Each structure stands twice: as structure tokens, then as C-alpha cells.
Chains A and B, each alone.
Chain A
């Protein structure tokens, strides 16, 4: 499986944008980039996914480098509720359905009031 590399931790001030980086230099052409997050004492939560183009949804934006070897999850205005561990995960789009999520070492985001 292609691997991802994320910083262990990051800090952000409340109401400021947050850019969470992820490196995936061995990504294959059919790998989708997914982001999940896990708030304290809760189950993981899907955030966003993309293949080649940048993506936006109500929670965040995903910026994908042109060579797809890195991506950045953007939280436009961090709130205290965004304090969580953020996981960047690659999932093969050719493997069919029912594909597990393989969590690696994510980034623990601390939001400072």
C-alpha cells in the first residue's frame, strides 16, 4: 500500500485557517486521497476525498498538488471543535467496493482559543 507522511502535531489559533499537509510520494494513478478525523472520545469521521482536482465541501477543502505527491487539507476557520487527529489515507479506486480504511499516524491538531 502506498504510504502517507504527516506531521505528528500542529497548532492553530481559533478562527484562523489551518493547512494540514500530507506527503504521498508513492501514490499510484488510481489512489484516491481521503481525509478522516477523530475527535477525542469519538469514532473517526469522514472529512473529504479527491483524486486529481481540488475539492471543497462544507467541512474543508482539499488541495492536491499537480504531481499528486502531496496534498493539503484546509480548514478555513478553525474552531475549538476542530481539535482532533487528522488522518490522510490513500485508497485504491480500482480495488472495488468494501475497502477498509487503513489509518496511519495522523496529525494531532490543537486549536488555541
Chain B
């Protein structure tokens, strides 16, 4: 079965640079979520989209923005990167009415 696809899997950026992470949800899933997991920490919710509209927002810095496109893929844009942004970024998708979220393998972002 198709899973959530994230690209790139690894990304190295320098401070103050920008980064774009991509997420391709499971086909026909209408909801996408983004999570951040710092080293040794639990995943923290950033933002979600339902049918291409922002549906919920967590502790996402103002330097970050995200959107969901007409083909349902989503992108997380991160600007003015800081060392503290180094983390694993997970995308998850689901049907809006489902209890199950399916997570991708994550993008490991390293800011140097």
C-alpha cells in the first residue's frame, strides 16, 4: 500500500538560509499534518490542512509557513533558519473522519 512520502529525507542548511520540505500524502487522504521532533524529544504538532485550507495551528514559528496544493501535496517553508530548527520533521495524512494518522519517514534537517 502507498505510504506518505517526504522529500528530501536529509537536508543540511546553514544559519539564516531557507528550506522547503515536501510531503505527498496517501492518495485520497484529505488532511495533512506537520510535526517537529527535536533531538530526544517527542513530536510536536506544527500545522494541519484539510482540503487545502489551514485547519489547525500549533507552535509553529512565524518564520515557518506551509500550504497544501491542489494535488494535495504539502510544503513546509522555513526561513531564517536557526540552529534550534535542527530536528526531524514528520508529515502525516489521514481522512478527516478517521482516527488513524499515517506518518511519513520524516525529513532530518540539520542547521549548521
Interface residue ranges, A against B (CB under 8 Å): 32, 34, 38, 42-46, 49, 85, 87, 91, 96-106
Contact = CB atoms under 8 A, between A and B. Distances in A.
A44 B96 contact: no
- Ranked nearest first, the 9 interchain pairs of A and B with the lowest CB-CB distance are A97-B96, A43-B103, A100-B45, A98-B55, A103-B42, A98-B50, A46-B100, A98-B31, A49-B99
B106 interface: yes
Contact of B102 (A46, A87, A100): A46
Interface string B27-58: 00001010100000011110011100001101
A43 B90 contact: yes
B103 A100 contact: no
Contacts of B35: 101
Contacts of B4: 43
Contacts of A97: 31, 50, 95-97
Which among B55, B95, B103 has the greatest number of chain A C-beta atoms within 10 A? B103
B42 A105 contact: yes
A63 B92 CA distance: 27
Interface of B: 4, 31, 33, 35, 42-45, 48-50, 55-56, 58, 90, 92, 95-97, 99-106
Given A100-B56, A100-B58, A44 B99 contact: no
Contacts of A100: 33, 45, 48, 56, 58
Contact of B44 (A85, A96, A103): A103
B99 A32 contact: yes
20 contacts: A43-B90, A43-B103, A43-B104, A43-B105, A43-B106, A44-B43, A44-B90, A46-B100, A46-B101, A49-B99, A49-B100, A91-B99, A97-B95, A97-B97, A98-B33, A98-B49, A98-B96, A100-B58, A101-B33, A105-B42
